[in-house]
Every structure is written in structure tokens, then in C-alpha cells.
Structure 1
Amino acid sequence: MKKQLKVVVTGGPGGGKTTALDLFRRELCDQLAIVPEAATVLFSGGITRSSNEPVLKNVQKAIFSLQQNLEDIQKNKYPNRLLVCDRGTLDGLAYWPGTEENFFQEVNSNFENEIVRYDAVIFFESAAASGHDISSNNPVRNETSKQAAELDQKLQDIWSRHPHYYFVGSSESFVRKIMFGIMTIENVINRHNKENGN
């Protein structure tokens, strides 16, 4: 059976990731299925943010599990489409209040298992990294520009360990970011087809 391709679109708050995903959906239509962001699903459903460490850990464990299940739902619902994930299971590591080792103990996994879930990573750098405004109409986002830049760096450190990591800098125009993202998805599909002799 042909392996289903799975790509993560991630990055710090204010990187244009959500807008990019909307445009990917329109551009590639019936070729892909979007896996929604687990944190947004959770926070939109009535869970409120907290700075309490035990609560933070519970929230990240719930997001991790929900992310896996959302990926499985879309995988089974659209077996012949490319899965494009709005963030991945490793994003929680940037928000975790403890060590990396502690994170993987708590979610009962390891870095290697999670990184191989995805065939490629497209990282949209936060506008905050280059000192730009990141205000948005997303009601579940509450990071300051400083926090967004710090999160962006943490996320870069995590995801750049993927062998197929594509970085889209914040200095790029937004149109170029989107074009690069679509080109990257097409390259991933072409590489996959080549490796599988299609």
C-alpha cells in the first residue's frame, strides 16, 4: 500500500501559518487534507490558559494526544490525500515547563518516534523575530511579541532536527512565503513519487 504523505506547517505565533494553510487548501483543493491545530481546538472548546505548572503539563499532554488523534482521523477519512498538519506533536515541547526528557516520559514517546511521523516540515518564522507586529484576530492567541520571538526560536531548535526541514524567513514578503510553501509541498510530493517509482 502506498505510504500517505504527511507535512507539518509550523512556526512561532504571527508567522502567517494559518493564512498559508487556507491558501494551500484553495490552491491544492482535493489533493490535500488539513489537520487542524490541536491547541486551537482545545482552547476554543472552553479550556482556558493557565500559568500553573501542573495545569500547563496537563494541557500539553491533552494537546499531544489530540494532535495524534486528529492526524489519524484525517488519515483515515482521506487516505489518498496529502496530510498537511497545522503544527505537529513536537510543538508541545516548546511550551513544556520541564525538560525534553520529562516531556517524552509524560507523553510516553521519544523524539525519534515523533519526528518520523512527518515527511517534511515547513517552518514559517514569526514576524516578531524581525521586530514586526504580530497582532491578529485569533482569539486564542495571547503571546506578546517578545514571547512570540522566544517561542519561535524554541520551535526552530526542535523542528530543524528534521532531515527535510524548510525554513521560510520573516523578512520574505507574505506572497513569497506562500509560494515557497506551495512549492515545498509540490517538491515533497515529487520526491515521494520518485522514491516510490511513480
Structure 2
Amino acid sequence: MKKPLQVVVTGGPGGGKTTALDLFRRELGKQIVVVPEAATLLFSGGVTRCNNEQAIKMVQKTIFQLQRNLEDIHKLQYPDRLLVCDRGSLDGLAYWPNSESDFFKQVNSTFEKEIARYDAVIFFESAAASGKDISSNNPTRNESLAQAAKLDKKLQRIWSRHPHFYFVGSSESFVRKIMFGIMTLENVINRYPAP
């Protein structure tokens, strides 16, 4: 049996991922299943952000495992659908306080193993990259404009190493950006049809 195809939708805070995924879910219904973002589940479940390095590492290791487990659960529950992941297992690398090699040692994996989990990456650039407002309805987001822009660059450096990386740039019009993002998602789905 062919493995379910998996696409990650990621990007810096305030990139429009969540809006695009909500619209996409409505448009494509039963062709896809959206895997929820592990970090949002964890932070909305009572874990608070802090500046303690050891706690940051524990939080990121938990998010990494939760993200992978959520993806695997959805693969088993929806074997005939394309998995669209709200962020992926490598996102934690942008938040890791030490080196990339330390991250992979701590999570007991490699960059190659993690990047291979995904058939394509669609990256929504944060509005912060062009100095625009990133306020949202997500109560777990607390990054400043400068922090969001910095995270966006880190995430872009990580994910752009995927051989099938698609970039949805920041735009003067949020609606145009979301429409372009949705078209990109549709093109990826057409290129990687469900098994």
C-alpha cells in the first residue's frame, strides 16, 4: 500500500497559514485532512512560554514528538487522504536555543529523516518580513514584529532545503496572498494526488 502523501504548511508568525488552511479545508473537504499545529495544542493546554533554556528544550522536544504523533495518527485514520500539516517536525529547530546538531541529538533524529517525512513544503512568509501588522486571533502567539521576522527567516532557511519548497511571499493585499497560497496548495495537491 502506498503511504499517504504529506504536505507541510509553515512559515513565520502572522503568515496567514491558519486562514489559508481553514479555507482550504472547506474547499477540498474529504480529499485532505489537516493535521493541527502541535505547539498551539500544547500552549493552549496550559503550558506557558518562558526564557529558561532547559524548559525551552523540554517544550520543543514535546512539540516535536506531539507533531510527529499527530501526523502518524492522521495517516492511520485517513489513509486515503492527503495530509496537510499545520507546521512540521522541523519547526522546533527555529526555536531551539542551541545548535542544529544538538536539536537532532536531543530528539533522536536527523535532518534527512525529518525532511523526508514531507512530500512538499508550502511556506507562508510572515507579514512581519515586510513590517506589516501580525496581530491575530491566536491567543498563544506573543511574538513582537521583530521576533516574528527573525523566526520567519530561520524557518525559511530550514524548510527551503526541501527539494519541493513552495514560497508564498508577503503581499500588500492579505486576500491576494491567501488566494495565491490556496492556488499553490491546489497545484501541490494536483502534483501529488492522493493514493
Does the residue aligned with 1:7 lie in a helix, a strand or coil? strand
1:34 partner SS:
strand
Mapped partners of 2:7, 2:176: distance in 1: 19
Structure 1 unaligned residues grouped into runs of 5+: none
**Aligned position for 1:45:** 45
Q: How does 1:1-198 map to 2 (within 5 A)?
A: 1-171=1-171, 173-193=173-193
Residues 66-122 of structure 1 deviation map (CA, whole Å, 9 limit, x = unaligned)? 000000111111111110000000000000000000000000000000001001111
Paired with 1:188 and 1:169, the residues of 2 have a C-alpha distance of 16
Q: C-alpha distance in 1, partners of 2:185/2:172? A: 18
Q: Percent identity?
A: 76
Query: Residue type matched to 1:96 in 2?
Result: W
Does the aligned pair in 1 maintain the 2:171–2:177 contact within 8 Å?
no
Letter in 2 for 1:5: L
Q: What CA distance in whole angstroms lies between the structure 2 residues aligned with 1:138 and 1:54?
A: 25
Shift of the alpha carbon at 1:172? 5.5
Measured in 2, the distance between the counterparts of 1:79 and 1:179 equals 28
Summarize the Cα distance change of 1:138–1:157 in structure 2 as closer, same or farther, 3 Å threshold.
same
Runs of 4+ in 1 over 4 A off after TM superposition: none
What is the TM-score when the length of structure 1 is the normalising length? Answer: 0.94
The number of residue pairs the alignment matches comes to: 195
- Residues 1-10 or 142-151, more deviating: 1-10
Structure 1, 130-139 or 178-187: larger mean CA deviation: 178-187
Give the aligned CA root-mean-square deviation in angstroms.
1.5
